[in-house]
Copies of this chain bind each other. A is one copy, B any other.
Amino acid sequence: MLNQYLINGRRESNLTPLDRGLAYGDGVFRTFPVHNGIPRSWPLQYRRLTEDCNALGIVCPPASLILSDIAALCDETEHVVIKVIVTRGEGVRGYAVPALAQPNRMVIKLAMPDYPEHYFSDGVKLHLCDLRLALQPRLAGIKHLNRLENVLARMEWVDGQVADGVLLDTDGRVVECTMSNLFLRHGDILMTPDLKRSGVAGVTRQRIIDMAPSLGYRIEVADFDLKALLASDEMVICNSLFGVWQVRQLEDKHWMAGVLAARLRGRLEQDDA
């Protein structure tokens, strides 16, 4: 049974329209797979949830409570997606943070998306988004609930063969895709955008940064423009649900089949096992 959820550990609970997560997007979230009852990369996911809560001044719920919610929702044979949302809690009106705000914790069980098999074997096609991400260093990297830019960007295409859309910022730097982070390979260098002005710093991006040297790649977290992206030998996108896909096409640009995505995916799966 899917689309079940717990609010503060309770099944019968509901949100009210006074929750600041709704009113202002005043909260953060994470999304990750749960296989046979075990949340993937849990220590990294929880660390990022805590860091993101801290950045907004929200008290992050203890890991034990979230894990117990996940255990209550998932049985040991399921392969599902868990989404955790933490909001600042209820407020009456106005942006000022109530002194006694009690964070609300929501744990939602969802079906694993049914990605086409050829995305994994042959790679994917991307759209280049017209929308440019705004520069907000105070929110950059955080997986917060203010995601209208992603929603508007995702509205730009309806082609079911397009897996995601590349987002540039208002200064023309490459940042990410609407639901994934990205890496370029130039020779033995793996480049991924610096996310200090915009974008979401995903857990799988961090895992790839951490593992790349052991696979023989030099990592560069840097600013670069579309021209550098189009000149890359290979391009891959990643997130916690699908792992890594090679990009074979971005608008008129085509890349040959490569081994980077399979190598990274293989290592991620090995580490998860």
Q: Interface residues, chain A, CB within 8 Å of chain B?
A: 3, 5, 7, 14-26, 29, 31, 56-57, 81, 83, 85, 87, 92-97, 106, 108, 110-111, 113, 131, 134-136, 138-139, 144-155, 170, 178-179, 198
CB-CB under 8 A from A29, the residues of chain B are 23
The answer to whether A3 and B178 touch across the interface, beta carbons within 8 angstroms, is no
Q: Which residue of B lies closest to A81 (CB)?
A: B93
Minimum distance in angstroms from A206 CB to a CB of chain B: 21
Q: Which residue of B lies closest to A136 (CB)?
A: B134
User: Could you give 28 example pairs across A and B, Cβ below 8 Å?
Assistant: A3-B18, A3-B92, A5-B17, A14-B16, A15-B15, A15-B17, A15-B19, A23-B145, A24-B146, A24-B150, A24-B151, A25-B148, A26-B148, A56-B152, A57-B155, A81-B93, A92-B111, A93-B110, A94-B113, A94-B154, A95-B150, A95-B153, A131-B138, A135-B135, A135-B170, A136-B149, A136-B170, A139-B152
Give, as a whole number of angstroms, the nearest-CB distance from A265 to chain B.
Answer: 21
Give the most central of A136, A139, A178: most B CB within 10 Å: A136
> Are B138 and A135 interface neighbours, CB within 8 A?
no
CA distance A16 to B147 in the complex (A): 18
10 additional A-B pairs beyond A96-B154, A96-B155, A134-B139, beta carbons within 8 Å, are: A5-B18, A7-B17, A19-B22, A22-B85, A22-B145, A24-B146, A26-B147, A97-B154, A135-B135, A136-B149
- A148: chain B residues at CB < 8 Å are 24-26, 56, 139, 144-146
Instruction: Give, as a whole number of angstroms, the nearest-CB distance from A96 to chain B.
Output: 5
What are the nearest 5 A-B pairs in CB distance? A14-B14, A134-B134, A25-B25, A146-B146, A95-B154
Q: Which residues of B contact A21 (CB under 8 A)?
A: 22
- Report Cα–Cα, A237/B16, bound state, in Å: 31
Which single member of B17, B26, B178, B179 contacts A108 (CB below 8 Å)? B17
- The reply to whether B5 and A16 contact each other, CB–CB distance below 8 Å, is yes
State whether B17 touches A95 (Cβ < 8 A). no
- Determine if B22 and A108 form an interchain contact, defined as CB atoms under 8 angstroms apart: no
Contacts of A113 in B (CB 8 A): 93-94
The verdict on A152 contacting B170 (CB below 8 Å), with A14-B14, A24-B147 known, is no
Chain B residues within 8 Å of A108, by CB:
17-18
Distance (whole angstroms) from the CB of A240 to the closest CB of chain B: 12
In the complex, chain B residues whose CB is within 8 Å of the CB of A154: 94-97
**A96 surroundings in chain B (CB, below 8 A):** 154-155
Q: Are A147 and B22 in contact (CB under 8 A)?
A: no
